[in-house]
Amino acid sequence: MPNLEVKTNNKILEMYSKCGAMNDAFVIFDQMPKRNLTSWEIMISWLANNGFGEASIELFTEFKRCGLKPDGQMFIKVFSVCGIVGDIVEGMLHFKSMNKDYGISPSMEHFVSVVALFGSAGCLDEALAFIEQMPIKPGIEIWETLMNFCRIHGHKVLGDRCAELVELLDPSRLDDQSRAGLISIKASDLEGEKKKLSNQNPLDVKSTVFKYRVGDRSHPNQ
């Protein structure tokens, strides 16, 4: 049962990735006789989560070279990766490519991801300009995302403006910290930083990225 085999291997990929063992994950990934979109998404997102952002972008490039077609969810992961490495230009190229090359209309979740891409790089005014040019009305998630990055980067005026909009749309989304201009740090954020600090040499993983089978026929359907 090929589908069962792919799902099992994906679980193993995820297990190794969550432990930060990306070399071990690549061994499984490289040996998989069949992959689906989830297989690639796990590797692309967890490479970045474990501190190997450049290798993650390279893997997405290789995914497209194989003739495979990304879906909307994969683009969200790619925007997140570009945010991690602070590459806004790369991220916006993928954002434009999403509709132009693959016919995927951006959803609110995609717009939120792009705002987070700008925000993670500290480009808050650029994020606001992007929001103002959106073809759809910004939802509360947009303003909440920008507000949080404003708090992180100390942009009080814009952060307070976003907080006002969030409160107008849904007061329950603001707590005392948010109203005071603060943002709480999640335990998961601290754990992620610990992983990045204790990781192996990124060159070890990058050297493994391109170990692909000639004539790879991996099918992207889930």
Question: Which residues in the chain show pLDDT less than 70?
Answer: 1-4, 176-222
Question: 1-101 maps to which CATH number?
Answer: 1.25.40.10
How high is the pLDDT of residue 150?
A: 95
How high is the pLDDT of residue 189?
A: 46
How high is the pLDDT of residue 175?
A: 73
Residues 88, 117: Cα–Cα separation, whole Å:
7
How high is the pLDDT of residue 28?
A: 93
pTM score of the predicted model: 0.77
